[in-house]
Structure 1
Amino acid sequence: MTMDDYFFNGELMKCYEAAKQVTDGHEKELADKYISLLEEYEYDAYPKPTQAVVSQEEERADESYLSSDLVAEIRAIKEEAEFTLRVKELEEIAKTGTADEKAQSFFTQGELFLFAHHYNESVHCFTQAVKENPNKALYWGITGQTMHRFGWMPFDALGYLEQAIQLDPTNARWKWNKALVLIQLAKDLQMAPFIANAAITLEEAITLCGEHQRSLKEAIQNTIDNMESYVFA
């Protein structure tokens, strides 16, 4: 695939790496443009997965993950003092725990901020979780999803979603979110290749949905049915 192919398919890290391999010739000018654009979004500073194969968490029927159970437990606490104590414990683990413990703590804090509608703090915590454990697709995916939903630039969101899909290529949710960002780019930039790749990605996503993922499958189908209206409204 060419740099353009990667770019319009939302595989921006692959585009960035391909552009860095171009040293001369007629493609050098285009490569430099891609490098300049993607370094503006700090693709050169992304954490790198440290394990080749990692067992990834599967999304459950209620759209939660095993890592989300602690969030549900803390949110169920009724006493303010106990709730505050649990949050302080999370903050302490984020400072003194192992890398995996820190990552889980940041993820939990990020979801708590998300439920409280503090989106900047939520994204900050999710990106910290990625830094502590870049091998977990959930951390990458939830970061990209949150960025897209709450106003970050599409190239920010796509970078995280690409890494989530790279780590967990059978996860339908991350592919659906990637397609949503591609649709947004097609609308904003009026570039047809984005919408074409979004359509392919949506078909992949709906095929990957498990029997238990009925609500996700319905959401993806709704996106497919209304895709053109999103772009040309």
Structure 2
Amino acid sequence: MTQLVRLAGVKFEGRQEVINRLSIDDHIYMERDYFNSHDRNAIGVFNEYDESIGWIPRETAAKLSPLIDSGQEFEVKLNRILGGGFGLFFGVEIAITKVDRKQQERVHQEIIDILNNQTEEQSKQAMEQFNKSMRETHERHILEGNVDDLLVIINNHWLSLESIQSFIEYSFQMGRFEDCFKALQTLERLATVYHNQDILNYCKENIEVYLSYGYDQPLPTPNQKNYPQSIERSDETYPDLDRIREADVHDKVDEFLKEIMADMESYDAEIRAEASFLLGELYFLSGKVQEALELYMLAIRDNPNKALYWGYTAQVMNRNQVDALICSRVIRHAIDLDPTNPRWHFLQAILLLRISQAEEIDQLIETFIYEITTARDLCREDQAGLKEAIMSLIIE
């Protein structure tokens, strides 16, 4: 059973600055504070760098501390990062789940029983499924920087530094550059532990490249699956921008501006995000690109689950010759959130081609072909303009 808890003490002792740097997929943990003079049940919560982000509220800590003291394990994850805009303090909501070791042992035994009692073909399928699950677990640990878990896995010979290096190369080939950067940081820490100078040099050299493109500046992380996404019309417009068109047609732009400025002060993050996006589009239409991009990013910060915000941001960046490695990092989020939108795949194909040609990197050509053909295949019959642009790039 998972319990959602909002942390206490987040406003004090510099925690706002620490929380501001958090991403929703960052590793966190909780730890008993046996020497706390204010609460004998005190439980602190920390990020992966052992920096405090808050405390478990007193009433909840009173229930959890006896369980922790008796040896019960808990899994702790960030669930939501609240506030932070327009002078509001950041808040943190975490998910606490009791670790059921007996259940894990039962699952392990069930796998063994299945393998012992199935036919050769069934055993092969079961083992493939098991290996897939293990790969996904390993990849999650790599991307989240869970070094302690990875050390256990490596020491049991289930994974190696070289296999993590291969994962990095594969992620690069697939155009998942942010995954590359995260994995490189994890591998660097592991290589330091194992004193592997060759891999350490490999990490430092490649991390330096990503740092030069600002990859150390964290982007907001989507935190809601199956979020409703906008559908592009046949004339290449989106319903989300209809309010701008209506205000222009009815000569009510000033009134419309007052509405969206008021919406930007809303306590509802989605309303603020929509207002920032619309104002950004107005700036873009008036030729103020930098101001537009800043507002698009503000929209993403308030609502990182909407692919349109990510896609438009990457599109405007690309049109204004922002480096393709930066644009691709942004459009990747749009694709992951809305994989059925052909425009996002088309833009990723353009960016991969730019990177490949500029840096003479042949490994990206295969993924370029995948993205451009995916974009073509996803186009609806009424998206003639988009399909024509896609076909033109294929012919080139």
TM class, shorter-length: 0.7 to 0.9
Deviation at 1:97, TM superposition (A): 4.4
Stretch moving more, 123-132 or 42-51: 42-51
Structure 2 letter corresponding to 1:45: P
Structure 2 letter corresponding to 1:166: D
Aligned pairs for 1:43-82 (under 5 A) are 43-78=216-251, 82=252
Report the equivalent of 1:139.
309
Deviation at 1:43, TM superposition (A): 4.9
Report the equivalent of 1:29.
201
Structure 2 letter corresponding to 1:149: R
Deviation at 1:196, TM superposition (A): 3.1
Report the equivalent of 2:259.
89
* Residue 111 (str. 1) matches residue 281 (str. 2): yes
Stretch moving more, 130-139 or 5-14: 5-14
Structure-1 separation of matches of 2:250 and 2:326: 34
Of 17, 28, 43, the match for 2:182? 17
Report the equivalent of 2:15.
none
Would the alpha carbon gap of residues 34 and 58 (structure 1) be closer, same or farther in structure 2, given more than 3 Å must change? farther
Deviation at 1:10, TM superposition (A): 2.1
Task: Indicate the SS of the match to 2:265.
Answer: helix
Structure 1 letter corresponding to 2:315: Q
Report the equivalent of 1:185.
355
Structure 2 letter corresponding to 1:31: C
Task: Indicate the SS of the match to 1:163.
Answer: helix
Report the equivalent of 1:218.
388
Paired residues, what number? 223
Task: Indicate the SS of the match to 1:51.
Answer: coil
Query: Which string of whole-angstrom CA distances, capped at 9 and with x for unpartnered residues, describes residues 82-121 of structure 1?
Result: 4223213312321334100111011111111222121111
Please say if residues 165 and 171 of structure 1, whose CA atoms lie closer than 8 Å, have aligned partners that are also in contact: yes
Structure 2 letter corresponding to 1:121: E
Please say if residues 179 and 199 of structure 1, whose CA atoms lie closer than 8 Å, have aligned partners that are also in contact: yes
* Residue 198 (str. 1) matches residue 368 (str. 2): yes
* Residue 173 (str. 1) matches residue 343 (str. 2): yes
Structure holding more strand per residue:
2
User: Which segments of structure 1 move beyond 6 Å, counting only runs of 4 or more?
Assistant: none
User: How much identity, in percent, do the aligned residues show?
Assistant: 28
Structure-2 separation of matches of 1:166 and 1:176: 14
Please say if residues 49 and 135 of structure 1, whose CA atoms lie closer than 8 Å, have aligned partners that are also in contact: yes
Structure 1's unaligned 5+ residue stretches are 227-233
Structure 1 letter corresponding to 2:366: A
Query: Which string of whole-angstrom CA distances, capped at 9 and with x for unpartnered residues, describes residues 97-155 of structure 1?
Result: 41001110111111112221211111111111100000111111111111011121112
Q: Which has the higher contact order (CA 8 A, sep 6+)?
A: 1
Over alpha carbons, which structure has the higher Rg?
Answer: 2
Task: Indicate the SS of the match to 1:45.
Answer: coil
Stretch moving more, 172-181 or 182-191: 182-191
Please say if residues 13 and 43 of structure 1, whose CA atoms lie closer than 8 Å, have aligned partners that are also in contact: no
Please say if residues 281 and 292 of structure 2, whose CA atoms lie closer than 8 Å, have aligned partners that are also in contact: yes
* Residue 38 (str. 1) matches residue 210 (str. 2): yes
Please say if residues 178 and 215 of structure 2, whose CA atoms lie closer than 8 Å, have aligned partners that are also in contact: no
Task: Indicate the SS of the match to 2:209.
Answer: helix
Please say if residues 343 and 386 of structure 2, whose CA atoms lie closer than 8 Å, have aligned partners that are also in contact: yes
Structure-2 separation of matches of 1:92 and 1:34: 45
Would the alpha carbon gap of residues 38 and 95 (structure 1) be closer, same or farther in structure 2, given more than 3 Å must change? farther
Deviation at 1:211, TM superposition (A): 1.8
Would the alpha carbon gap of residues 53 and 35 (structure 1) be closer, same or farther in structure 2, given more than 3 Å must change? farther
* Residue 130 (str. 1) matches residue 300 (str. 2): yes
Structure 2's unaligned 5+ residue stretches are 1-165
Please say if residues 107 and 139 of structure 1, whose CA atoms lie closer than 8 Å, have aligned partners that are also in contact: yes
Task: Indicate the SS of the match to 1:142.
Answer: helix
Report the equivalent of 2:271.
101
Structure-1 separation of matches of 2:262 and 2:206: 40
Task: Indicate the SS of the match to 1:2.
Answer: helix
Structure-2 separation of matches of 1:29 and 1:212: 51
Please say if residues 43 and 159 of structure 1, whose CA atoms lie closer than 8 Å, have aligned partners that are also in contact: no
Deviation at 1:44, TM superposition (A): 4.6
Structure-2 separation of matches of 1:179 and 1:86: 36
Deviation at 1:206, TM superposition (A): 0.5
